[in-house]
């Protein structure tokens, strides 16, 4: 089954308008970067998002944690008081997210190391 990112974008945009929020407010409240919120809201990039991202947006918007995931897969969203079902795909999705974060952290540390090396070399030359 294909993913319906347009349905996700419509639902988010309608709810944000109902709440009178701006994109930045949704990003801050959900702990999702504003760039990712923008991409999802404007449906400009269709790429795999972690279930956790969609869960966070769903909860922040006052819905069941699996609301947006259900819309994405063409299913009827659960009622807010329905129990949460957790499958192995959620665990793998979270592990994928952690792995991506580790890559980002490693890249930043490499950049810092390079910058620090440059500063040390500059200080040594000027002694």
Overall domain count for the chain: 2
Give the pLDDT confidence of 44-92 residue by residue, as tens digits: 876 778 888 999 999 999 999 999 999 999 999 988 778 766 555 556 6
45 and 76 inside one domain: yes
64 and 91 inside one domain: no
62 and 90 inside one domain: no
| Residue where a domain terminates, one of 46, 64, 82 | 82
47 and 64 inside one domain: yes
* Residue 60 and residue 26 in contact, taking contact as beta carbons nearer than 8 Å: yes
77 and 90 inside one domain: no
57 and 110 inside one domain: no
94 and 71 inside one domain: no
57 and 105 inside one domain: no
12 and 71 inside one domain: yes
Measured between its terminal Cα atoms, the distance across the chain in Å is 66
* Residue 73 and residue 1 in contact, taking contact as beta carbons nearer than 8 Å: yes
Residue-level length of the chain:
127
At residue 1, does pLDDT exceed 60?
A: no
* Residue 71 and residue 2 in contact, taking contact as beta carbons nearer than 8 Å: no
67 and 102 inside one domain: no
Q: For residue 3, what pLDDT band results from cuts at 50, 70 and 90?
A: confident
33 and 90 inside one domain: no
H-helix segments, the chain:
5-19, 23-30, 34-42, 51-60, 67-72, 88-125
Residues spanned by the domain of 63: 1-82
Give the pLDDT confidence of 17-31 residue by residue, as tens digits: 999 999 999 999 999
Measured between alpha carbons, how far is 84 from 95 in angstroms, rounded to an integer? 19
């Amino acid at each position: 089954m294909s993913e319906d990112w347009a349905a996700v974008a419509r639902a988010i945009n309608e709810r944000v308008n109902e709440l009178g929020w701006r994109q930045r407010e949704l990003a801050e409240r959900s702990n999702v970067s504003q760039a990712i919120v923008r991409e999802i809201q404007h449906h400009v990039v269709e790429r795999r998002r972690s279930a956790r991202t969609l869960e966070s947006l769903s909860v922040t918007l006052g819905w069941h944690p699996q609301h947006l995931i259900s819309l994405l897969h063409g299913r009827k969203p659960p009622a807010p008081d329905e129990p949460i079902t957790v499958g192995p795909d959620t665990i793998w999705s979270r592990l994928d997210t952690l792995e991506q974060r580790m890559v980002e952290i490693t890249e930043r540390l490499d950049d810092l190391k390079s910058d620090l090396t440059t500063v040390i070399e500059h200080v040594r030359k000027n002694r």
